Structure 1
Amino acid sequence: MDTTLQSQAARGQDPAIRVRGLVKRYGETLALDYFDLDVRRGEIFGLLGPNGSGKTTAINCILALLTYDEGRIDVFGEPIGPTSYALKRRLGVVPQEVAVFDELTVEQNIDYFCSLYVADRRRRRKLVDDAVAFVGLGEYRRVRPGKLSGGLRRRLNIACGIAHRPELVFFDEPTVAVDPQSRNAILEGIRSLRDEGGTVVYTSHYMEEVEQVCDRILIMDHGRHLALGTADELKAMIDVGERISVESLDLPESAVEAVRGLPAVDEARYDGRELQVRCRRGERNIADVFAILEASGANIGHVTSRPPTLNDVFLEMTGTALRD
């Protein structure tokens, strides 16, 4: 069966992850507040939240690395606990911090982590070869990690986490501090895992990456589920409209004031070279702004209109930028 068809068929099955009413307390601190989550099979699922929102706690509970006070967690339709060894073999984790052994070569590192799940050496040899090829480290397989660039070490980190061919993989900030070439290779690899029928849970502070690779995105804060949907669905949930930029060297103050007075305009700033306008949703925003500027007689240069971004969604829903 074609791998894409396999992935599509998997999407109709039971969720890869189902979390209901999850509560986790640290003393008086409520880290997870009756948190719910559904991750479909065969999707890349983005989990976003500011620092301290409960993301890491939720993931560690799902992986059965943490106990919790109330709720239920099912993975592939089965409850997961500390001794769910067969279920855990179907999972993979790529942590934010590169976790490899500097005294072992690239190949030996991948083989070691794969051996934690696969005892048969012959089968493992094929899995290691596949993982090396998957992350593009063929020419470095006998090199130790200390000799690799940061981007190549990240790729090795991924190979160690996916060599045993897990059905569900957690990626925590996989592209932090990597070069553009390695970033593109990592993102393409994550898409390939999904297209081959795998399921990915992805956390990142890079909103453009989340929008690029994630099929659905959940925003959480204070241990609660705030919003869920595709990137376009999330953008449709907020009042923020486009941001309009207009180049002009002779814009009169009266025109700037008139733009500020438009019903859909939240803010307009002019620095003598460029007018920056932030709007709420509206069908005629750019036309209304342009009509005022044209009537003012000012010389107008480049005009751009940028639609709302995921960062706008995040800021409106949580009151903070993702990196705060």
Structure 2
Amino acid sequence: MKKPRLNWAVEPWEDSELLECTQIVPETADTWTFTFRSPTGAWFDYEPGQFITLDLPVDPAKGPAGNIQRTYTMSSSPSRPMSISVTAKAGPNSVATRWMMANLKPGMKIRAYGPAGIFSLNRHPAKKYLFISAGSGITPMLSMSTWLWDSGIKPDVVFIHAARRPSDVICHDRLEHMASRSSGLQLHLTVEENDEFRSWNGYRGRLNQLMLGLMAPDYLEREVFCCGPEPFMQAVREMLISLGYDMDHYHQESFGAAVETEAQAPVLDDVVPDEDAGAELLFASSGVSARCAETDTVLAVAKRAGLNIPSGCTFGLCGTCKVRKLSGEVHMVHNGGISDDDIAEGYILACCSNPMGKVEIDI
């Protein structure tokens, strides 16, 4: 008996054709995955990590004027080209994603445009990768990890993801499955809070330099891809810069404006202490002043000046060297040894604070 032949088109999908929603899967309380196929059977061709733009009829009564367009990174991989998936998180002020959760059903057709975007490992091939994500920033990492996993070649990826709670880790089971079947995919999760009545054996707290060193000891050798809220990505950049990472091998995807071309990519204007730039520290209570470089720490300058600031770990964890800054600016990259409230009140950790210009310390 001859088997029936599936009528799949051989040409790639083009955005002149509406997409049909085929499946909806809740991932967390506020994050769902929506899967689409081409009604003609066309295959999807894109780079892992790219995004697609959905045209959503949020207010059908207004016709086309009631539509809004939103970009979503595909959480699926082009290695599985018969469908595409977007994994969308509904924030407090979300309109499009909440409309999808309330109205989009299997069988409905949606206009889509794309794919587009420059955030893809295909554009930066390397032997070793480091994926760092937070929240829904996990979606392009899912796509790229699946692409590598499906390649049939053992990858070398350290995948770090930060979430508020264990129950907020998007596609947790999918990640665990891939990691359990490939020793080349090392998965590390860190959360800030526990779930009630649920144990957690992973990392706790905000991602910091110590965690990074434990999770990926060879981070200096890896191509880094980062995606998440802007404060998270800024903290990651500051960590890497302070650790001497070559930022030419750092790539990020913003939650804000979708970047379609290299020319649209924002310029990252991070503070980088310059060893050739001069600074000055005035220790007010001691009446001592000392000139130094921006790359010097407040603790090191104080010791050279004969002053004693109690210290312990010397990498921003224990909080022993907390002092009050009276004026001026410092660049501080700590590992959890000081609270946001203390920082707001003017306190710094001397061991990991670099003076930027003239700074006055209450010592």
TM-score (norm 1): 0.31
Tell me which protein shows more helix as a share of its residues: 1
TM-score (norm 2): 0.28
